[in-house]
Amino acid sequence: MTQTIPGIHHVTAISGPAQANVDFYTATLGQRLVKRTVNFDAPDTWHLYYGDRAGSPGAIMTFFPFADAAPGRIGPGMASAHAYAVPAGRFDGWLDRLRAAGIAFAGPVDRFGARVITLRDPDGAPVELVETDGTAEADLDGFHSVTLWLRDPARTARLLTRVFGYVEAGHERTPGAERLRLVAPGGARGSVVDLLRTDVAPAARPGAGTIHHVAFRAPGVQDQVAWQDILAQAGHRTTPVIDRQYFNAIYFREPGGVLFEIATDAPGFAVDEPEQTMGTRLMLPPQYEPIRDRIERVLPPLRVAA
Ligand code: ZN
């Protein structure tokens, strides 16, 4: 193996009305709206990106909000949850703040020796906060992990370990479920992937409150090109490189059914507006600038509380 994946780049999900999504991710979770743009494949809908101040890889949660989205159902063949890392000493503060604000959450439960609580976003999607020993000066320090719900985790585990370079870090059984933890060496943000198998598995249905895909990091453009070859040799068919304005993307369906993406770190979210004012106005890729007026008329307005 010549190269490995350092961790998650971003996670993309489907939501209902945009304003409730903005309020939850900015006000409740304290994330920054780092980009307001449109779905490049359907420019009459928002594509919202949340992250840390700088919009760093490993902290980016993105949404396609649809005002009339049908609720989805999380099940096997999907990423079933994303988890943020809570730096050491800040977990009890989260519990206090959420309780004081009357925001419901489940837990804390113990998972691989760390406390985990689960909030629900306005569409019912689980958002996990995991206590870590990280020392960042922030209430959340980007992603801790993503959980993939699979009928047969073995083939996905093989892809992650033999092709991506992850290593097994533990196995945990809870009533009705088992969880295999894989970790990317290097300790980058979002370096953990949990593979979850359950005894009872509902049929998954895409829709509001479900994750659409998980993107892994390729630090450079040349790494991404190399991944196309490596994945092809391992029998996975990827898309051509697609320019997503803030990163380049390739996509493929992993053997368990989850849509994977490999996204480049560059150019990043400050490519088309200053980092200081990122996320305050609608940014469009060049192909949609000529129809900006039309797009601005159909997009629902957004308010971000200061
Ligand atoms: Zn993506």
The predicted-structure confidence for 52-80, as pLDDT tens digits, reads as follows: 999 999 999 999 999 999 999 999 999 99
Q: Which two tokens stand for residue 229?
A: 């070859």
* pLDDT surpasses 80 at 2: no
Which residues have CB atoms below 5 A from the ion given as ligand 1? 12, 215, 261
Question: Which pLDDT does position 305 carry in this prediction?
Answer: 81
Is residue 25's pLDDT more than 60?
A: yes
The two structure tokens encoding residue 109? 């439960």
Res 147: pLDDT = 98
Q: What is the C-alpha to C-alpha distance for residues 85 and 88, in angstroms, rounded to an integer? A: 9
User: What is the Å distance from ligand 1's center to 305 Cα?
Assistant: 26
CATH level 2 (architecture), domain 8-298: Roll (3.10)
**Dihedral angle of Cα 280, 281, 287, 293, to the nearest 10 degrees:** 170
Q: Ligand 1 centroid vs 9 CA: distance in angstroms?
A: 8
Q: pLDDT tier at 173 (50, 70, 90 boundaries)? A: very high
What residues does each domain of the chain span?
Answer: 8-298
Cα three-residue angle 276-281-283, rounded to 5 degrees: 100
Cβ–Cβ < 8 Å for 24, 208: no
% of the chain at pLDDT higher than 70? 99
- Position 167: which residue type? V
- Which tokens hold the place of 126? 């689980």
Both tokens assigned to 228: 């196309």
pTM for this predicted structure = 0.97
Each residue of 94-117: pLDDT tens digit?
Answer: 999 999 999 999 999 999 999 999
Q: 146 C-alpha vs ligand 1 centroid, how far in Å?
A: 14
Report how far ligand 1's centroid is from the alpha carbon of 84 (Å): 18
* Phi, psi (rounded to 5 degrees) for 179: -130, 125
Distance 186 CA to ligand 1 centre (A): 23
